[in-house]
Amino acid sequence: MAPGIARYTILAFGVSSFIAGVRSLLRPSGALTSLGLPAAALPAANGNALAAVAMGVYYTLAVAQDNRPFFLATVPMRLVSALVFWRQGWVGVAAWEGGGAALTLLALAWDDARKPRGKMA
């Protein structure tokens, strides 16, 4: 059976997280501007960027392992993240997180529905 599509949703998030984190570390002023943060927030923004890089690595590793329990565990946390980002006014980030979580959940359900079931004797 071919790899499930849920893997690709996690891979997309992992790669985008890694790239966003590296970009923010290389151009911290751009990260501050895009999020509407003052220069005083630079240490927190750098910490967030480093966490994004690490998350990108973790997600990619989970894809390589086809770690479906991990895929499922990301869904509620990403939904909470979406809510927090939305309330912060970061609508684009919230949409990416929430939409990605919903897409991953749908992909997991799709993959599960396509699994061959054991034959009854």
Ranges of each domain in the chain: 6-114
Q: Which helix (H) or strand (E) holds 121?
A: none
What does the pLDDT read at residue 60? 97
Is 19 a residue whose pLDDT tops 60? yes
Residue 120 pLDDT exceeds 70:
no
Query: What does the alpha-carbon distance between residue 70 and residue 64 come to, in Å, rounded to a whole number?
Result: 12
Q: How many residues does the chain have?
A: 121
pLDDT at residue 100 tops 70: yes
Q: What is the DSSP string of 42-90?
A: HHHHHHHHHHHHHHHHHHHHHHHHT-HHHHHHHHHHHHHHHHHHHHHT-
Percent of the chain with pLDDT over 70: 95
